[in-house]
Chain A
């Protein structure tokens, strides 16, 4: 898929706009979790890493793919977990009685 560069660019440009719309609504209160969360999402490159590391032959490509998997997994797992940890700290005001 995406053999057609125009289709790929179309998706890219539209996704950028979606990104702007979605992110602009996040209040400054949550900018740090937003950042660590979106950071985790940039680890989506793990998909490419799996494709590179998973092929049958043992080549330099699979070695690079393996290292890429390690890097991307740190990014994904670390990113989502630390975001969850942070978000758990944002609490509402307790009712003072």
Chain B
């Protein structure tokens, strides 16, 4: 195939990728969109195989076979609760691949003794740097999410100074690479430091901030691909990479807004390392109140007079694997003429949109999954708000208590419902380490226990009453 034709094929591939992503905008068209994008990828790969210089097909085939086998196993075995880890891992592979491609190109230039020109030396540095950070950063995020290491923020004195210093040194070496594109010494320095930085930048970030980190790493993996596009002078790579970069940036912003925190605060604030004794905010922190515990049977009595229910699931529900039991409860309530909706906070779960996937897996129809801004006006007219494994996202202090660490964070207004049931294992505070006054309200009934166990008992109790 001539070079011209290959370029047209890349253009076609880019169009397919964009159309595919557009179709991801609605649940009806999304499966098709995914396959359109995959077709675009196939077109790009086949076109590349037709490039004149590409001759050792055995090497390529071997790589594709090994990679596909691993990819298929990962994609079919992974549990939906583990999607964040999966995406983190895939991000890492994408970033790593881009760093390797940039490195391979550099080595080819060095062997040929011909200096890269124009934007290429800078693109090589960026490809290695961003790709390297994405690779190890994603692996650390994976390890944290998979609980291979503690999910808590790892902090030590002078951490930001050390990271800042390493960052400056890395940039210095990068500049040296640009000045002298065929010198390999600074290259090895950039490789080593970018891999190290990936680790150091992610360890101070706590488990519940992972949605932001994954979104950001997603963006990086796109930008790394973009950089290799500049290295190779390949418009297809540049376009696809920047699409992913943009997508990651948007999701990162949505996640930060949903926690009312700046990106800088998430990345460098070490929020997960908050000392529990130092918290409690202002308001209700001092006084000792006890929350009243109720039984599922008490709750069933209220349900028997209810017309509407909004379920507020949090990550605790997913941890307890309670989503199927909750769907059973929701079906039962609906069969009794009670309308049931699910209120989804943007940061419910461990990655953007995670809770929707978990509930979809449990066969909850997607029309019943309602976003925060759309459902909040409905709480005052709702008989029962059922909070399962969520805490900070329903803390009314975020609206009212200026001293609270979570003040200003958008929350689900469950406290405005007629009755609030909170299923919770204990009175332990949530991730932010702050007490939740919701639990002490007169219209709140605490039902202590494992989310799945309580949900099943609720099913029984509601059934027995009829």
Contacts and interface: CB of A to CB of B under 8 A. Distances in A.
B41 A61 contact: no
Interface stretch (B25-33, B161-169, B271-279, B448-456): B25-33
Interface string B437-456: 00000000000000000000
Contacts of B37: 37, 40-41, 80
Contacts of B148: none
A24 to B, nearest CB: 6
B69 to A, nearest CB: 9
Interface string B237-267: 1111111111111110010000000000000
Contact of B30 (A24, A33, A61): A33
Interface size band for B: 35 or more
Interface string A51-86: 111111001111011111111111111111111111
A2 B233 contact: yes
A72 B228 contact: no
Contact of A50 (B60, B87, B105, B215): B60
B67 A73 contact: yes
Contacts of A19: 242-247
A71 B94 contact: yes
Contacts of A43: 41, 90, 93-94, 97, 225
A35 B234 contact: no
A49 B225 contact: no
Nearest to B47: A47
Given A43-B94, A77-B75, A38 B228 contact: no
B21 A38 contact: yes
A55 B49 CA distance: 11
Nearest to B222: A42
Interface residues of A, number: 85
Given A77-B75, A87-B27, A71 B354 contact: no
A15 B108 contact: no
Given A2-B234, A8-B233, A33-B357, A38 B75 contact: no
B290 to A, nearest CB: 36
Contacts of A54: 49, 51, 53-57, 59-60
Contact of A56 (B44, B56, B103): B56
A73 B254 CA distance: 29
B48 A53 contact: no
B242 A12 contact: yes
B172 to A, nearest CB: 23
B91 interface: yes
B1 to A, nearest CB: 14
Interface stretch (B78-86, B389-397, B426-434): B78-86
A91 B34 contact: no
A32 B352 contact: yes
A11 B245 CA distance: 14
Interface stretch (B196-204, B359-367, B377-385, B400-408): B359-367
Given A29-B356, A43-B97, A61-B107, A22 B243 contact: yes
A91 B67 contact: no
Contact of A39 (B7, B30, B90, B367): B90
B461 interface: no
Contacts of A92: 27, 365-367
A3 B94 CA distance: 25
Nearest to A78: B71
25 contacts: A1-B3, A12-B242, A15-B242, A18-B246, A24-B250, A28-B346, A28-B371, A35-B251, A36-B86, A43-B93, A44-B241, A45-B94, A47-B237, A50-B45, A51-B51, A54-B59, A65-B100, A70-B66, A70-B67, A75-B71, A77-B75, A78-B74, A80-B35, A87-B30, A92-B365
A-B interface, 4 closest residue pairs, ranked by CB to CB distance from nearest: A73-B67, A19-B246, A31-B353, A69-B63
Interface of B: 3, 7, 10, 17-18, 20-22, 24-27, 30-31, 33-35, 37-38, 41, 44-45, 48-49, 51, 53-57, 59-60, 62-64, 66-68, 70-72, 74-76, 78, 80, 83, 86-87, 90-91, 93-98, 100-101, 103-105, 107-108, 111, 118-119, 214-215, 218, 221-222, 224-226, 228-251, 254, 334, 344, 346, 351-354, 356-357, 360-361, 363, 365-369, 371
Given A19-B247, A87-B31, 17 more contacts: A8-B230, A15-B242, A22-B243, A34-B21, A41-B17, A41-B41, A41-B244, A44-B17, A74-B74, A74-B90, A75-B90, A77-B67, A81-B71, A85-B76, A88-B31, A90-B27, A93-B367
